[in-house]
Amino acid sequence: MSTVLPIVAACQNDDPWADTSLHAFCIGDVQIGFVLPKVLQAVRRYLDEHRTDVMRVDSSNGKLSLVLAYNASKSDRTDFMADLAQWLRDTNQFADPLDGMCMRLTLIGWRNEQYAIYGRQSYDQASEIVFTLERAACALFGLTTFGVHLTVGCYLDNSVAGGITAGDSPRASIVRECEEEAGLSGDQVEPYLTATGAITYFYRTSQGWRQPEMQYTYDLALPSDEIVLHPEDGEAESFELLSVSTVIDKMHKNEFKPNCALVLVDFLIRHGYITPETEAYYARILSTLHTDLRLPVSHS
């Protein structure tokens, strides 16, 4: 079997920590994201027009960075970031990703859907949500986003996937997405649903946006013919039963979105279809599937 390393590298295609052109986005002294120079310039214009104590441009370490005040309340930070994102949209800046000019990966336009952004954390305490932000605006600030992907064992595709909205747990998100995307009720899903871990990666879009992501993965081993998936909300056109060899062939032909292919590689490793004997870059691929983002993440 041909190596799947290029498939993995198509999604894990960036290291923003090594890019000196990027500016840090911080909450207090904790970095939570990466900002392109053009975004920093736009934010500075906004701050010139809207005086606030919630955000400042800092140059104390010799390089400009955006800093949200840690002593501000979560609601104040959320309101400020919402106003900033809406201003950027209203002034027709950054249509990709704010208005869906780029349809690759998760950049699909304004959703009126809030994502939780995490800040300071420790191993013995739950991660702290420091503000929530419109899903489409997260890419502007290089913020870590969280999603869920489910592979149905008898269908072998990312049959259901979606982002984790603020306030949802990963499991609640995937059960909801099963109903919304595939017409499967919670009662149909819960008995067969298995949490299988998570993958993490840095994705850089064709337009240069940085998108750190963490995807919680699930397997759904449905009884062979008892439960049928069918499109429900228009996000999926159809569901098709494919063999493992067909899935692998389609991955090599780039017929899956980069992050969906990454989830499938993880599935094929866990189920013994990709092994050290069949994959020359096995160890490298394993580590790439679990890239250390070095950013605050959810403990959920």
Cβ pair 8, 265 in contact under 8 A: yes
| % of the chain beyond a pLDDT of 90 | 63
Residues 6+ apart with CB under 8 A from 6: none
Q: What is the mean pLDDT of the chain?
A: 88
| pLDDT score of 167 more than 90 | no
Name the pLDDT band for 19 (thresholds 50, 70, 90).
very high
Q: Helix or strand or coil: residue 91?
A: coil
Structural domains in the chain, CATH included, are 5-9+145-289 (3.90.79.10), 16-141 (3.30.750.160)
What is each CA distance from 136 to 36, 88, 100, 178, in whole angstroms? 16, 12, 8, 22
Tell me how far CA of residue 8 lies from CA of 21, 190, 294, in angstroms.
Answer: 25, 30, 20
Q: Please tell me the predicted confidence (pLDDT) of residue 102.
A: 46
- Distance, first Cα to last Cα, the chain: 36
CA torsion sign for 78, 80, 82, 84 is negative
SS3 content of the chain, % helix, strand, coil (to 5): 35, 25, 45
When pLDDT is cut at 50, 70 and 90, the band that residue 13 belongs to is very high
Taking the whole predicted model, whether its pTM rises above 0.75 is answered as yes
Average pLDDT of the segment spanning 225-250: 74
Q: How confident is the model at residue 156 (pLDDT cuts 50, 70, 90)?
A: very low
